[in-house]
């Protein structure tokens, strides 16, 4: 496919022939070897594959946290591969929420402060009001002033979830969000995540090793050796990896 | 295996990973120890030089000195009988006129005999021999001159100068004079002539301020102390001053002691500031070891094992830092002597001096323990799981009573060591108290900043709010930054304001109310001539003329001076000769009498004396007490009639003692006069006086004050260099505080970038954070440093206090820039880190 425009006006994520090569002492390492990917508004897409296949790298590129060696990336209709750092930060601020396996909360900020940060960066006067509301949505309105070290793993991930959804993102990137949690806790997190995605119409890109979790998404792609190699169709609107 | 042995084993294993994280610790400790060892070693090097060169500096084993008149023939015979050899010299001030030019200069004239110098040698230009230089060749006496004289007169070797009635030929220039160093201050360049030539000058008049020196080379069997005692017994009323090798150069000794004390105190400040850095480094180190410590505790390690394991590591690293500091400190005098050794009157003796080394080691160990035991003891006492939450929910900071008492005892020992090793214990006590107050003040300010920033209303701008919350968030660098920078900056501000005030004091005197001239050695029959010159001048000139003699206080209230330990600031009154005068009528301002009454103008009863009020209070002298003064070999007893308040700052004629008319009226004396006139007429008056009265020495006050200003500037520069050591220590600690938080800052920056913060947001936030800290710290340093300077100027030096903005700005602005700059360097490094590697799942 050589057309530079999304094939569907509802496309929020489009990757075209994206390569990522990193240097190492042993020589260049090809992480991504020509990825073509598209995700539509409201879709939930799982990305599966073995460790080291390039899943996280692809997610970092979509988030603007890693620059591709070559290729084209469009996020919500905007090309980002040539944007500078500040522009990428603005993009994330407005449109992208991220949930990590390791939570990555600021350890010296309380729960409400962590959630308020993206809203404050966006210049919202009601940042703390919204943050409190989001923490209530995830069931943590009794832990507003607690620091991450004072919260359990599940609670920390809920804070991270609240933070990611505080800006009502167009896209949510979740990199093994339940990897550090037990089964029951993880299930609750996933439930909340899907519920919020549905509520806000957020496109979800979910990296997971869990096939059951992968199956909950509207579609699934498989990464191996830096290539997206498999697409399984579902009842959701069509999307493709070409 | 015993706990201690196990602790050594674990400590050794942990130290295998290197000294990463301890570089600032090492630098802080090394700098402070180097400062103390360096200053102490330099002081000892100079003192060793004084001892080694003692005989040369003094000019003999023992020196007898009289003023106004030589020793009697009997006294001279006695001295010669006790000695292998005696050298006699005479010193006075005189005017030297260039014969072929219309130039003249006040000189320090020195007439020497054939035996001079007894020790050392006079170095002259062109390898001339002194005897030949100053001898009489074809009826012309020769002289050796300091290069400053020939330059000023615009003459060269071979040219002639006139001194009094004698014409001299300049045959050589003085390169080095062996016994010059004992004189603190000179009013003119040296002119060296032969003793027989002095008589031909006709300048030796009764009452003239002339000093006669008799230096002895003693037999081996005779000690200086023995001779001194024998002299006191043989001539109990002799008016001479006896100096031996113990006090060969008291002025230099005092100067070395005082400057050395001050510089040691500044070095201690650097070490104290470094101590804050040591404490920060240990705290950060233990923070990084939380996992290890918690694991050890979880698997059964006793608290004492944890404590000793990390104490041993801290101790080993501290010893390394101390060793580095000692090497620098021991070698520093070599560099210092090489750089400015020529400016010193003695040759410093470079060597390894164990006393300052031992003192520096003791300080280094004590500072390490005082600042590191608290975090070590805390790590020992709090439960393992709490360690993981310690950053954000610290368990009570109290490490237990045993540790608290131990740390307190060590802190008291540190303070005691500072006091007892100082040659000025009172100053050291004030320093210790001041340091404690300053540390507490800055800690308090940091706490106020934290509290205040929490109470501020939330800003709408994210980067401003981030900056404000960074001030009080758990683990914030606020306390470290404020304390590290604050101490050093306070010292620097104090030094800058002291220097400015001292310069203002001199400038004030130069500008206004000080007299233009002192004219000394006016003879009785020259007073009218002098007054006529002033009266006949076609410009306004006001003069004051008083008789003057020199005498030495020998007892107060019946107690010999040798048995009195005077307060340090008043000791000068009992040391050596003092100028004194007599008068019938009261001083011009009756208000200056603060106790007692002035004698009637026609008083002719027993000798009375008016005494300086401050000195009288210091020596506990009351109205009616008796003092004894030796004048020209005669002991005069006088009763204190009143206390007189003297303002020394006006530089007018003032005397500690003013006598009633009586015995002094008939003593051989000269007169001293001051002249107040516009600057543009000064040289005209000087010319008229010295050409008419060539024996009169004219001392131009502005020139003297100018030289004082130069000396003050040099001293201030040297002191400021040492003060900068304290600031460097502060910068190191600041760097340490920033480095300690760097990992967290990088992580926070990356997470904030993930959430959409731009570089500009983060740079602004961190810049504002450090800017606020820098401004607050600078403000407090100005108050504390200014307060210290005010105290010294008004209470110690009793001078006028003035405030200028420029020295403060020049000191504080660079410090502010350093604070913000250091913070921004750390921030920039954080912003340049790539996000992906830190965010990847492990």
pLDDT tens digits for A70-88?
999 999 989 999 998 888 8
The answer to whether the CB atoms of A102 and B752 lie below 8 A apart is no
Q: List B670's β-bridge partners, or say none.
A: B548
Nearest-angstrom CA–CA distance, B276 and B442: 12
How many structural domains comprise chain A? 1
Q: Which of A94, A107, A179 lies nearest to residue B392, judging by beta carbons?
A: A107
Write down the mean pLDDT value for chain A: 87
Q: List B401's β-bridge partners, or say none.
A: none
Nearest-angstrom CA–CA distance, B756 and B767: 19
Bond into B117 cis (ω within 30): yes
Where would I find the H helices in B699-834?
701-740, 742-754, 759-791, 805-831
Residues with Cβ within 8 Å of residue B146, at least 6 apart in sequence: B173, B174, B189, B190, B191
Nearest-angstrom CA–CA distance, A237 and A87: 31
For Cα atoms A126, A128, A133, give the angle at the middle one, nearest 5 degrees.
Answer: 95
CATH code where residue A101 lies: 3.40.50.300
The answer to whether the CB atoms of B839 and A104 lie below 8 A apart is yes
Q: Are B261 and B424 in contact (CB under 8 A)?
A: yes
Q: What are the Cα distances from residue B371, in Å, to B29, B43, B368, B429, B631?
A: 11, 28, 6, 20, 59
Whether A60 contacts chain B with CB within 8 A: yes
User: What is the CB neighbour count within 10 angstroms for residue A236?
Assistant: 14
Whether A63 contacts chain B with CB within 8 A: yes
**Residue A128: closest CA among A91, A93, A163, A169:** A163
Residues with Cβ within 8 Å of residue B447, at least 6 apart in sequence: B479
The answer to whether the CB atoms of A108 and B842 lie below 8 A apart is no
User: What ipTM, to 2 d.p.?
Assistant: 0.78
The pLDDT assigned to A2 comes to 39
| A32-44 pLDDT, tens digit each | 999 999 999 999 9
Is residue A13 one of the residues assigned to a domain? no
Q: What are the Cα distances from residue B39, in Å, to B88, B332, B429, B724?
A: 38, 8, 19, 14
| B498-556 pLDDT, tens digit each | 878 877 776 666 556 778 899 988 888 899 999 999 999 888 889 989 898 888 898 99
Whether A57 contacts chain B with CB within 8 A: yes
Is residue A177 one of the residues assigned to a domain? yes
Contacts of A21 in chain B (CB under 8 A): none
The pLDDT assigned to B712 comes to 73
Chain pair A-B, CB pairs under 8 angstroms: 103
Is residue A1 one of the residues assigned to a domain? no
Domain around A110 = 43-51+84-233
**Torsion of the alpha carbons at B359, B360, B366 and B371, rounded to the nearest 10:** 160
What predicted TM-score, i.e. pTM, was given to this entire model?
0.71
Q: Which of A94, A107, A121 lies nearest to residue B391, judging by beta carbons?
A: A107
| B636-694 pLDDT, tens digit each | 999 999 998 887 766 777 888 999 988 788 777 889 999 998 888 888 999 899 888 88
Beta strand B104-112 with B190-194: parallel, antiparallel or unpaired? parallel
The answer to whether the CB atoms of A86 and B755 lie below 8 A apart is no
Whether A83 contacts chain B with CB within 8 A: no
Contacts of A150 in chain B (CB under 8 A): 389, 392-393
Is residue A88 one of the residues assigned to a domain? yes
Nearest-angstrom CA–CA distance, B658 and B662: 12
Is residue A100 one of the residues assigned to a domain? yes
The pLDDT assigned to B342 comes to 63
The pLDDT assigned to A38 comes to 93
pLDDT band at A104, cuts 50/70/90? Answer: confident
Is residue A14 one of the residues assigned to a domain? no
The answer to whether the CB atoms of B841 and A175 lie below 8 A apart is yes
**Residue A109: closest CA among A162, A66, A65, A56:** A162
| DSSP annotation of B101 | S
3-state secondary structure B186-245: CCCCEEEEEHHHHHHHCCCCCCCCEEEEEEEECCCCCCHHHHHHHHHHHCCCCCCEEEEH
| B430: helix, strand or coil | helix
Specify the length of chain A in residues: 242
| B301: helix, strand or coil | coil
The pLDDT assigned to A164 comes to 94
Q: Which of A56, A113, A149 lies nearest to residue B391, judging by beta carbons?
A: A149
Q: Which of A106, A121, A122 lies nearest to residue B748, judging by beta carbons?
A: A106
| DSSP annotation of B98 | E
The pLDDT assigned to A125 comes to 87
The answer to whether the CB atoms of B391 and A57 lie below 8 A apart is no
Contacts of B477 in chain A (CB under 8 A): none
The pLDDT assigned to B173 comes to 95
The pLDDT assigned to A1 comes to 35
Nearest-angstrom CA–CA distance, B61 and B222: 10
Is residue A28 one of the residues assigned to a domain? no
Is residue A73 one of the residues assigned to a domain? no
Beta strand A11-22 with A29-40: parallel, antiparallel or unpaired? antiparallel
| A197-216 pLDDT, tens digit each | 999 999 999 999 888 889 89
Tell me the DSSP string of A17-65. Answer: EEEEEE--TTS-EEEEEEEEEEEETT-EEEEE--TTSSHHHHHHHHHTS
User: What is the CB neighbour count within 10 angstroms for residue B446?
Assistant: 24
Q: Which residue ranges in chain B fall short of pLDDT 70?
A: 1, 181-185, 246-252, 255, 297-300, 340-346, 381-397, 506-512, 568, 587-591, 649-650, 718, 722, 841-842
- Taking CA–CA distances from B474, the nearest residue in chain A reads A108
The pLDDT assigned to A3 comes to 43
């Amino acid at each position: 496919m050589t057309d530079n425009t999304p094939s569907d006006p509802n496309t929020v994520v489009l990757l075209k022939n994206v390569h990522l090569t990193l240097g190492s002492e042993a020589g260049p390492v090809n992480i991504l070897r020509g990825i073509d990917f598209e995700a539509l508004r409201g879709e939930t897409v799982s990305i599966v594959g073995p460790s080291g296949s390039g899943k996280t790298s692809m997610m970092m590129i979509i988030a603007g946290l890693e620059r591709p060696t070559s290729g084209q990336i469009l996020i919500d209709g905007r090309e980002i591969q040539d944007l500078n750092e500040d522009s990428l930060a603005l993009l994330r601020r407005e449109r992208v929420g991220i949930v990590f396996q390791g939570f990555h909360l600021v350890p010296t900020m309380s729960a409400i402060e962590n959630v308020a940060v993206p809203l404050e960066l966006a210049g919202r006067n009601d940042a703390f009001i919204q943050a409190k509301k989001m923490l209530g949505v995830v069931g943590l309105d009794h832990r507003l002033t607690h620091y991450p070290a004072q919260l359990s793993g599940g609670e920390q991930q809920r804070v991270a979830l609240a933070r990611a959804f505080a800006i009502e993102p167009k896209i949510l990137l979740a990199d093994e969000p339940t990897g550090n949690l037990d089964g029951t806790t993880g299930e609750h997190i996933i439930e909340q995540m899907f519920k919020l995605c549905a509520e806000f119409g957020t496109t979800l890109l979910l990296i997971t090793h869990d096939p059951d979790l992968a199956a909950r998404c509207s579609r699934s792609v498989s990464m191996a050796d830096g290539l997206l190699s498999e697409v399984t169709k579902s009842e959701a609107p069509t999307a493709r990896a070409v | 295996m015993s706990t201690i042995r196990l602790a050594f084993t674990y400590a050794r294993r942990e130290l295998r990973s290197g000294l990463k994280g301890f570089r600032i610790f090492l630098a802080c400790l090394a700098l402070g120890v180097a400062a103390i060892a360096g200053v102490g070693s330099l002081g000892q090097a100079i003192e060793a030089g004084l001892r080694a060169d003692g005989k040369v500096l003094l000019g003999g084993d023992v020196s007898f000195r009289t003023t106004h008149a030589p020793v009697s023939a009997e006294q001279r015979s006695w001295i010669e009988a006790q000695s292998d050899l005696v050298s006699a010299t005479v010193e006075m001030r005189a005017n030297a006129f260039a014969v072929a030019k219309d130039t003249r200069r006040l000189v320090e004239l020195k007439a020497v005999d054939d035996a001079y110098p007894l020790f050392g040698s006079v170095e002259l230009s062109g390898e001339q021999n002194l005897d030949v230089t100053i001898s009489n060749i074809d009826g012309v006496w020769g002289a050796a001159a300091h290069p400053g004289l020939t330059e000023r007169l615009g003459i060269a070797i071979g040219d002639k100068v006139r001194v009094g009635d004698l014409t001299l030929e300049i045959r050589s220039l003085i390169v080095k004079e062996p016994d010059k160093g004992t004189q603190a201050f000179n009013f003119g360049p040296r002119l060296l002539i032969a003793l027989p030539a002095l008589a031909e000058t006709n300048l030796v008049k009764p009452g003239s301020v002339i000093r006669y020196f008799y230096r002895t080379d003693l037999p081996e069997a005779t000690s200086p102390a023995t001779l001194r005692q024998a002299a006191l017994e043989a001539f109990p009323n002799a008016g001479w001053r006896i100096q031996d090798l113990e006090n060969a150069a008291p002025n230099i000794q005092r100067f070395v002691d005082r400057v050395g004390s001050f510089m040691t105190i500044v070095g201690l400040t650097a070490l104290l500031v470094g101590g804050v850095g040591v404490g920060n480094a240990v705290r950060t180190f233990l923070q990084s070891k939380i996992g290890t410590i918690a694991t050890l505790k979880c698997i059964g390690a006793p608290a004492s094992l944890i404590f000793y394991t990390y104490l041993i590591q801290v101790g080993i690293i501290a010893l390394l830092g101390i060793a580095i500091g000692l090497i620098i400190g021991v070698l520093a005098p070599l560099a210092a002597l090489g750089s400015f050794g020529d400016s010193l009157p003695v040759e410093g003796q470079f060597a390894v001096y164990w006393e300052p080394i031992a003192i520096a080691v003791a300080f280094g160990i004590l500072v390490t323990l005082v600042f590191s035991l608290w975090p070590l003891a805390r790590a020992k006492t709090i439960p393992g799981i709490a360690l993981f939450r310690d950053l954000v929910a610290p368990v009570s900071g109290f490490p237990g009573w045993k540790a608290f008492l131990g740390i307190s005892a060590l802190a008291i020992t540190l303070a005691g060591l500072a006091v007892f090793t100082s040659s000025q214990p009172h100053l050291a006590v004030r320093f210790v108290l001041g340091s404690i107050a300053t540390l507490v003040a800055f800690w308090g300010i940091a706490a106020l900043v934290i509290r205040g920033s929490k109470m501020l209303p939330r800003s709408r701008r994210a980067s401003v709010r981030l900056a404000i919350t960074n001030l009080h968030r758990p683990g914030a660098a606020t306390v470290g930054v404020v304390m590290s920078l604050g101490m050093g900056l306070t010292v620097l501000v104090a030094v800058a304001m002291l220097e400015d005030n001292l310069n203002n004091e001199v400038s004030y005197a130069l500008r206004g109310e000080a007299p233009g001239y002192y004219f000394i050695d006016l003879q009785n029959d020259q007073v009218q001539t002098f007054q006529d010159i002033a009266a006949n001048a076609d410009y306004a000139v006001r003069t004051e003329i008083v008789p003057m003699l020199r005498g030495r206080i020998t007892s107060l209230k019946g107690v010999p001076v040798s048995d009195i330990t005077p307060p340090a600031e008043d000791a000068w009154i009992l040391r050596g000769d003092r100028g004194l005068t007599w008068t019938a009528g009261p001083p011009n301002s009756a208000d200056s009498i603060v106790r007692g009454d002035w004698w009637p103008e026609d008083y002719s009863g027993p000798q009375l004396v008016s005494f300086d009020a401050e000195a009288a209070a210091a020596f506990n002298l009351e109205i009616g007490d008796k003092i004894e003064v030796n004048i020209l070999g005669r002991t005069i007893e006088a009763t204190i009639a009143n206390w007189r308040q003297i303002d020394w700052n006006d530089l007018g004629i003032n005397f500690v003692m003013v006598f009633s008319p009586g015995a002094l009226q008939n003593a051989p004396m000269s007169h001293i006069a001051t002249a107040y006139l516009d600057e543009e007429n000064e040289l005209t008056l000087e010319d008229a006086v010295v050409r008419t009265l060539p024996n009169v020495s004219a001392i131009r006050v502005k020139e003297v004050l100018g030289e004082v200003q130069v000396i003050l500037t040099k001293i201030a520069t040297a002191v400021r260099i040492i003060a900068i050591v304290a600031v460097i220590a502060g910068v190191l600690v600041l760097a340490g505080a920033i480095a300690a938080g760097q990992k967290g800052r990088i992580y926070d920056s990356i997470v904030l970038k993930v959430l959409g913060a731009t570089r500009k947001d983060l740079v602004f936030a961190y810049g504002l954070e450090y800017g606020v800290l820098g401004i607050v710290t600078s403000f407090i340093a100005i108050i504390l440093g200014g307060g210290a300077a005010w105290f010294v100027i008004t209470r110690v030096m009793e001078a006028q206090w003035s405030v200028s903005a420029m020295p403060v700005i020049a000191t504080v602005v660079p410090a502010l820039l350093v604070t913000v700059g250091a913070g921004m360097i750390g921030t920039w490094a954080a912003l340049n880190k790539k996000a992906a590697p830190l965010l990847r799942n492990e």
